[in-house]
Amino acid sequence: MTTIELTLDDPLLQQLDKAALEANLPLGVFIQRTLTTEIERRRVRRLESRERESYRNLPSDPDDPVEDWESLEEWGDE
């Protein structure tokens, strides 16, 4: 593990202290978990975006029975 020095403005540090206290965690642990969570959230968003783009790029298959049903669906919101 590496130790880093970080400069934070006072209002942000107060918010972090409060959130760590509410989570019943030491400040360092809270910051580590928060950063890890954010990095994971970004990774998942990137993967979801790539997946959506892959589906958009798939050619439509006219022989797919789902294609026929999509035009007949009624969702009740129209």
Residue at 3: amino acid letter: T
Q: What is the pLDDT of residues 13-56, one digit of tens each?
A: 999 999 999 999 999 999 999 999 999 999 999 999 998 888 77
How far is CA 61 from its chain centroid? 31
Q: Per the structure block, which two tokens stand in for 45?
A: 């968003």
Q: What is the pLDDT of residues 54-73, one digit of tens each?
A: 877 776 766 666 656 656 66
pTM greater than 0.85: no
Dihedral class, residue 55 (left if φ above 0, else alpha if ψ from -120 to 50, else beta):
alpha
